[in-house]
Amino acid sequence: MYYAYKYRLKPSDAHREELDHHRDICRQLYNHTLYRLNEYQDKHGELPSMTTLRSELPDLKEWWDDLSDVHSKVLQTVVERLFDNLNGLSKLKENGYTVGQLKWKPPREFRSFTYNQSGFKLDKKGGQTVLSLSKLGDIPIRLHRAIPDDATLKQVTVKKEPTGEWFATFGVELDREPPEPPENPEQCVGIDVGILKYAHDTDGTAVESLDLTDERDRLEREQRKLSRKQHGSNNYEKQRRRVAEYHADLRRKRRDFLHKLSNYYAREYDLVAVEDLNVKKMMESPSNSRNTASAAWRTFLSLLEYKCEREGTHFVAVNPRGTTKECASCGVSTDKPLWVREHSCPACGFEADRDANAAWNVLCRGLKDVGVGHSESTPVETALPVDTAVVSAKRVVEAGSPCLTEPPTAASRRG
């Protein structure tokens, strides 16, 4: 399997200058390659192959002295990056989107370069771990978690964030295959995601959404300050970096929450059923698009999917249509507005929390999709909890720690 491990670099001032120099050379090469691609297309009426443009690199070095300062593999990945962008535009066009042409990259839009296969290694020097990069030197790196011993380092991407910080992302390939999901899963769970409660599952656990109100208010204040600065001045640049830091803080807290919550479900259960939400279409709604974007449901589902694959857990994404309206006990659909938070079936009298009812419907559909045999008894007769354990987002920690399995306090339980 292929994974990405991201670490913070701690470059000196001299290293920062060299990293920026390499990044700018790669940017200029990207723009030159785009120029050659357009020139070749105008002359021959078709796009050149990646091999054609990559074969021009040795000749470029004869008159472009700065290219000799950069490792050859890095220069080749710049050409590959251009063709990856072209393939991305082609796929969008095939899906019916109106696309334009690739544009030249200004410095603020070209923030990374990649060493592929060679030219880099992790080493120990002077009692600290360093990332040795060809033609750049040894840069201290903060390895906050170890890379598995059986992992093979395939590439490393060095990136400068808008905050000015540098990070290294390793592409790692593991020799071992992930475990196979069990044929007859015992621990199964259905999850209904929302805004007031981020996740409500069939085990009666409701995880509250992460409260980032203070962080958003602080970010808005700093953005207003930035709007009053003169563009291009030193004060503007200083304030721009502060805004970028608050953006990064908000993003880190959200992703930390999503990583830990998805990790819990992937490790604790044999089968996880979720709704296959069309988040992009939901974002087009004018009523609640900001909260929908902040929830980052698609990110959560993506993280949950790859973690389930890693842990050998069934991951099932079901059709979300009607999961809230349909009764988990008898299957009769009942319309109810968004502000009604309780499900009460007029046909069979089954009553439950709106999100709990949806979670049971998601689980039933997931079991049918996988083809797992299960009891014909209805949730109301078997496992539907009498009350719901409401868990604060602050208590969502890594699986194996006192977490969602820890019994909640009496004040956090709601019927």
In the sheet with 151-160, reading across from the earlier edge strand, the strands are 112-116, 151-160, 166-174, 2-9, 137-142, 128-133, 120-125
Tokens read off for 334: 């009942």
CA distance 69 to 20: 12
Nearest to 265 by CA among 171, 391, 411: 391
Helix pair angle (234-268, 213-227), 10° resolution: 160
- First-to-last alpha carbon distance for the chain, in angstroms, is 43
DSSP code string of 86-108: HHHHHHHHHTT-------PPPGG
Do residues 241 and 164 make contact, with C-beta atoms less than 8 angstroms apart? yes
Nearest to 311 by CA among 399, 372, 391: 399
Q: What is the pLDDT of residue 384?
A: 43
Q: What Rg, from alpha-carbon coordinates, does the chain have?
A: 26
Q: How many helices (H) and strands (E) does the chain have?
A: 10, 16
In the sheet with 197-201, reading across from the earlier edge strand, the strands are 314-318, 271-275, 188-193, 197-201, 205-208, 388-391, 413-414
* DSSP conformational letter for 376: -
User: 322 vs 61, 121, 208, 333, 402, CA distance in Å?
Assistant: 62, 52, 23, 8, 35
Strands 205-208 vs 388-391: parallel, antiparallel or unpaired: parallel
User: 71 vs 26, 68, 78, CA distance in Å?
Assistant: 10, 7, 11
User: 79 vs 214, 315, 364, CA distance in Å?
Assistant: 43, 36, 48
Do residues 404 and 396 make contact, with C-beta atoms less than 8 angstroms apart? yes
- Angle ∠(315,321,322) on CA atoms, nearest 5: 115
In the chain (415 residues long), the average pLDDT of successive 10-residue segments reads 91 95 96 94 91 94 93 95 93 87 92 94 89 94 89 94 94 86 87 87 87 92 95 93 94 92 92 85 73 82 92 89 82 75 77 83 86 49 48 55 38 33
- Alpha-helical (H) ranges within 150-233 are 213-227
Q: What is the pLDDT of residue 388?
A: 59
Task: Say how far residue 274 (Cα) sits from the centre of its chain.
Answer: 17
Q: What is the pLDDT of residue 232?
A: 87
Tokens read off for 34: 């785009």
Tokens read off for 51: 């091999």
Type of residue at 395: R
